[in-house]
Amino acid sequence: MTQPVLLVVTTVPETLNTILRYQPRFLAQALTDSLEVRIATSPGPGFRDVQDDEGLPVHPVAMARGMAPFRDILSILAMIRLLLRLRPAIVHSYTAKAGLICMVAAWLCRVPVRIHTFTGLVFPSSAGLRRRILMAVDRLICACATRIVPEGLGVKTDLQRHAITRKYLAPIGHGNIAGVDTHQFARGQASVTAAARGLATRFRIPERAMVFCFAGRLNRDKGIGELLQAFEVLPENCHLLIVGGLDTTAPINHDEQSLIAKHPRIHATGFMQDIRPALQLANILVLPSYREGFPNIILQAGAMSLPVIASDISGCNEVIKPGLNGWLIQPRSTSGLHAAMLAACHCPPATLAEMGARARLIVQSHFERSMHWRNMQAFYYAALPSQHLIEAPIGVSAEAAVPASLTRRPPASRLPSA
């Protein structure tokens, strides 16, 4: 019998080149006796890197970020053609647009198991017509999926509170979609320390400076406006390292871009393939987002023994505990952010070191990458359709039974329910 196919889908290659890097390759090896793993993502920058890193077949399906209904129809048609050719047993999509394209196409093609992971919700921070459209899209994704995975408990709560779906919801493991390799993300490695010194030299950051680091796309929902305002009135020994490229779909405004470019103590690195030197140079990570799913950057920072100042929102507040490994502030609050940053400035180095040590222990015990990958392996064993079920190998704790909804196909004449 031909081996069933697991198709992993993301909107753009960047997700596979950063957060999910090497996860498909691990799954292909771990599931080699039961599933053939393939990938679909948009062609463009980074596409060939995915092929090189994962060593798996990668299929190009163009998908546009943001609202683009006519292009989305073309993407759905392209995804249908791919699904009819591969006939996968399981499709698993990550990120919003991939979820829309993949779940609709997979439902139309009657793929037996259709999984979507919500890595964050946009509608809670939106308003008006845009909010209603985004909620409708999320309901459609849930209606077409047989299994919905919220990245964290906060995402699960929002999906339930806003009646997006009545289907079963549960994060995988402790949440997050990738985990962190705490051996790779460890403070003090010689090559990383040397690269951090290079950054300090490049930006003329004094050795005893207090360095705050923001890492992420320069998107208007990341709270960068509040961060810049809060930073400007901090003491002169403070520096701000901004890591990430401009998000063209929802960029920060021109004044904010100009301030980043001109301020003598604000240093923009652009996108960094390896973020560890920036985290090594920093004393504190700052993430004042309005919304998140379960941000990987706070786990990476924790693994690097960095305390974190973050918004009290889903994902962030599932990891950051005030006074233990960082500070939580109200989103959109410049004054609250400034107070937390000032408190960090006045913290004795020994206290910051203790907070950083606790942050690393939390990541090691709950979010180690190898642990998450094993959880993913068990998840897919449990999700296999009944005609492909095999006994999970020793050491893999699969779910006790596969819900009937995973294997039952909806009638062709009726739309699926959310």
- Report, as an integer, the average pLDDT of 120-126: 84
Residues 9 and 276: their CA atoms lie apart, in Å, by: 27
Banded pLDDT at 387 (limits 50, 70, 90): low
Indicate if 134 and 158 belong to the same structural domain.
yes
Indicate if 27 and 62 belong to the same structural domain.
yes
Banded pLDDT at 65 (limits 50, 70, 90): confident
CA-wise closest residue to 398 among 418, 368, 377, 370: 377
Indicate if 361 and 396 belong to the same structural domain.
no
Rounded alpha-carbon distances, angstroms, from residue 334 to 114, 227, 228, 281, 330:
42, 7, 9, 24, 9
Indicate if 144 and 173 belong to the same structural domain.
yes
The answer to the question of residue 306 being in a domain is yes
Indicate if 236 and 258 belong to the same structural domain.
yes
User: Above 60 in pLDDT, residue 261?
Assistant: yes
Q: What is the pLDDT of residue 121?
A: 87
- Report, as an integer, the average pLDDT of 83-99: 96
| pLDDT tens readout for residues 324-370 | 999 999 999 999 999 999 999 999 999 999 999 999 999 999 999 99
Indicate if 374 and 232 belong to the same structural domain.
no
What's the domain range around 349?
190-366
Banded pLDDT at 386 (limits 50, 70, 90): low
The answer to the question of residue 412 being in a domain is no
Indicate if 81 and 40 belong to the same structural domain.
yes
| pLDDT tens readout for residues 38-47 | 999 999 999 9
Q: How many domains does the structure of the chain reveal? A: 2
Q: What is the pLDDT of residue 418?
A: 58
Indicate if 361 and 389 belong to the same structural domain.
no
Burial of 411 (0-12, 13-18, 19+ CB in 10 A): exposed
User: Above 80 in pLDDT, residue 413?
Assistant: no
- Report, as an integer, the average pLDDT of 204-214: 96
Q: What is the pLDDT of residue 74?
A: 97
Indicate if 43 and 67 belong to the same structural domain.
yes
| CATH code of the domain containing 77 | 3.40.50.2000
The answer to the question of residue 415 being in a domain is no
Indicate if 69 and 214 belong to the same structural domain.
no
Indicate if 196 and 253 belong to the same structural domain.
yes
- Note the pTM of the prediction, 2 decimals: 0.83
Burial of 24 (0-12, 13-18, 19+ CB in 10 A): buried
The answer to the question of residue 312 being in a domain is yes
The answer to the question of residue 305 being in a domain is yes
- Report, as an integer, the average pLDDT of 119-142: 92
Q: Indicate the average pLDDT of the chain.
A: 91
Q: What is the pLDDT of residue 388?
A: 56
Three-state DSSP at 190 gives helix
Q: What is the pLDDT of residue 125?
A: 78
User: Above 80 in pLDDT, residue 407?
Assistant: no
Residue type at 154 in one-letter notation: G
User: Above 50 in pLDDT, residue 396?
Assistant: no
Indicate if 114 and 261 belong to the same structural domain.
no
Tokens of 321: 């505990």
